[in-house]
A and B are shown apart, each in its own frame.
Chain A
């Protein structure tokens, strides 16, 4: 099921008396690819969890999260679980732990599809094969029957993405989906996410601490720091002319050591950066 854009206004989240998100407001157009960037604990993941209603027990949420014309804040567990998987899909950082090691990939890829729609066994199998092909998994016949430990990290992440998009959600939340992958695999997964969110059908929220990755996928960026959005704007503008100190620090971190005055230690780092630049060029080509 596809639903239009997301509007978050005045979102404040407190857990155990500590306010972790302060008055966040942003909007997401249909089909838009939005990036969340920020250091650890800056609140980007928490925002994603708040959108999908998966905050830990005892979290206090104020403000409004509107998905299309539906208000999500204050919805009961039952209504929320109807939204999750169907209208909102989620992809997690560790493909290794985000898939149940005891279940075959085919079943996991079609879990939310089978939950939100009534499918026969054959239809479910067919859907698994179709999804496997859609996310670029070669040899779908083998993949859908395999257990997570029998495939590679990149294939696992593709399977996890397949699971997230199985019910054609209108919004895909990807929380550092490429961080645990090596550079070459990362490129493929980024390309896949870009393809999947090509039209107006599906919007993407891409969470990362890595500006280089974000530059490849996001059209617009929100910079998070300590539970606040400190800067937002088109990706290119943010990268070229950062306004906030945090953004500048993130860019500096992406370019080299974060400690002021520190100099690159060895040529190994230069080499590594060189190869990243190549990858980026490759992707843009």
Chain B
């Protein structure tokens, strides 16, 4: 069997331009965050009126801001907050989303139905408002951002994944797996969860990207990282008043945010395609036969019981 696309999911991910781009950007982000732990070009919080608004130079790669702080150092140090928020939001929203999806999708009726209503209520609740409320109660900071973003996007992921799970649970191969003797739990583990993995990954990477935006927005509003911790959102907030005089200063954090969010969004797409073996190469000609046909689940009705009624599928004698 000859196939042009690489056989493994990893190979397909790296081969696709989007996948490669997002992996490179995210690798840069991660290494910036790690490097910043041991080395920075300058102290990101050192301010001095003598070096305000300096243009880029060998000493200050990207110049300095109005307080004379080194922009490059602040940008690199700011990636720490971004990575923290992204990872935190991914873990929290992924866990919340999966648990909600499984309970609301496959649980017993008395669990399922109230949960669906709860999800709908929570979806209508703005993440930003939730973050502000949490910040009012527990003080602002990165944990509040992670919690707010995690809950907000977790519910959104839960809703999408639930719908997908319900869809998959009706598939014949799930019934076939039960007929093969797999327990409900084993079916969930071996068939349903891998089946929703593409949707889940896309949603997760999307929410990771949106988490960066949310962090930037919350920091911009003053609910995010404390003033002593450099963050991209805070950099934007501090410099936006000077955009007409020093546009380059606003450009850097804006560019960093845009690129990272873009990388996550594209990663989602690339991952979905890489994870699906059906998209691994050209479809086989045999894949096009056989219409949808009646499934086992539909045969439980007792409606079309007229003797000699046309059979529900293409028989040989028709």
- What is A's interface to B at a CB cutoff of 8 Å? 15, 18, 20, 39-46, 49, 52, 54, 56, 77-78, 81-86, 88-90, 92-103, 111-112, 115-116, 142, 146-147, 149-153, 155, 160, 163-164, 167, 173, 175-176, 179-183, 186, 209-213, 225-227, 245-246, 249-250, 252-255, 258, 272-273, 276, 279
- Indicate which residue in A54, A83, A153 contacts B289 across the interface (CB closer than 8 Å): A153
Give chain B residues whose Cβ lies under 8 Å from the Cβ of A18: 302
- Known A-B contacts A81-B183, A102-B277; the reply to A209 vs B315 at CB < 8 A is yes
- Known A-B contacts A81-B182, A175-B296, A226-B305; the reply to A92 vs B176 at CB < 8 A is yes
Q: Which residue from chain B places its CB closest to the CB of A269 in the assembled complex?
A: B318
- Indicate which residue in B283, B301, B305, B316 contacts A225 across the interface (CB closer than 8 Å): B305
Q: Is the CB of B304 within 8 A of A39?
A: yes
Segment of B20-28, B97-105, B266-274, B306-314 engaged in the interface with chain A: B306-314
A118 to chain B, nearest CB (A): 14
- Indicate which residue in B173, B307, B313 contacts A99 across the interface (CB closer than 8 Å): B173
Interface residues of B in 177-232 (CB under 8 A from A): 177-184, 186, 190-191, 194-195
- Known A-B contacts A20-B302, A97-B171; the reply to A86 vs B181 at CB < 8 A is yes
Q: Is the CB of B317 within 8 A of A212?
A: yes
- Indicate which residue in B182, B309, B316 contacts A40 across the interface (CB closer than 8 Å): B309
1/0 per residue, CB under 8 A from A, across B15-36: the answer is 0000000000000000000000
Tell yes or no: B278 within 8 A of A by CB. yes
A89-B180 Cα distance, complex, nearest whole Å = 7
Give chain B residues whose Cβ lies under 8 Å from the Cβ of A43: 302
Q: Is the CB of B296 within 8 A of A180?
A: no
Which 10 A-B pairs rank lowest in CB-CB distance, beginning with the nearest?
A85-B181, A249-B308, A112-B180, A152-B286, A249-B307, A90-B179, A45-B299, A209-B311, A85-B180, A258-B308
Question: Which secondary structure dominates where chain B touches chain A?
Answer: loop
Q: Is the CB of A41 within 8 A of B304?
A: yes
Q: Is the CB of A40 within 8 A of B181?
A: no
- Indicate which residue in B191, B296, B303, B315 contacts A179 across the interface (CB closer than 8 Å): B315
Q: Is the CB of B314 within 8 A of A179?
A: yes
- Indicate which residue in A115, A142, A180, A183 contacts B313 across the interface (CB closer than 8 Å): A180
Q: Is the CB of B307 within 8 A of A250?
A: yes
Give chain A residues whose Cβ lies under 8 Å from the Cβ of B276: 102
Interface size class of B (residues with CB under 8 A): 35 or more
Tell yes or no: B160 within 8 A of A by CB. no
- What is B's interface to A at a CB cutoff of 8 Å? 1, 171-173, 175-184, 186, 190-191, 194-195, 276-278, 283-284, 286-287, 289-290, 293-297, 299-318
Q: Is the CB of A102 within 8 A of B290?
A: no
Q: Is the CB of A160 within 8 A of B289?
A: no
Q: Is the CB of B284 within 8 A of A92?
A: no
Q: Which residue from chain B places its CB closest to the CB of A82 in the assembled complex?
A: B181
- Indicate which residue in B284, B290, B305, B313 contacts A176 across the interface (CB closer than 8 Å): B313
Give chain B residues whose Cβ lies under 8 Å from the Cβ of A85: 179-182
Give chain A residues whose Cβ lies under 8 Å from the Cβ of B311: 39-40, 179, 209-210, 253
- Indicate which residue in B194, B296, B306, B313 contacts A102 across the interface (CB closer than 8 Å): B194
A2-B89 Cα distance, complex, nearest whole Å = 52
Most interface-central of B179, B276, B297, B318 (chain A CB within 10 A): B179
Show 21 A/B contacts (Cβ-Cβ < 8 Å), sorted by A: A39-B308, A40-B311, A45-B299, A52-B179, A54-B178, A78-B183, A84-B180, A85-B179, A97-B293, A101-B173, A102-B194, A102-B276, A111-B190, A146-B1, A150-B284, A175-B296, A180-B293, A212-B315, A213-B315, A258-B310, A272-B317
Most interface-central of A99, A115, A116, A250 (chain B CB within 10 A): A115
A279-B278 Cα distance, complex, nearest whole Å = 34
Q: Which residue from chain A places its CB closest to the CB of B278 in the assembled complex?
A: A149
- Known A-B contacts A41-B299, A41-B305, A210-B311; the reply to A149 vs B283 at CB < 8 A is yes
Give chain A residues whose Cβ lies under 8 Å from the Cβ of B309: 39-40, 253, 258
Most interface-central of A89, A150, A163, A249 (chain B CB within 10 A): A150
Q: Is the CB of A100 within 8 A of B191?
A: yes
Q: Is the CB of A142 within 8 A of B1?
A: yes
B121 to chain A, nearest CB (A): 26
- Indicate which residue in A56, A96, A209 contacts B312 across the interface (CB closer than 8 Å): A209
A94-B284 Cα distance, complex, nearest whole Å = 18
Q: Is the CB of B308 within 8 A of A40?
A: no
Give chain B residues whose Cβ lies under 8 Å from the Cβ of A246: 307-308
A116-B180 Cα distance, complex, nearest whole Å = 9
Give chain A residues whose Cβ lies under 8 Å from the Cβ of B312: 40, 209
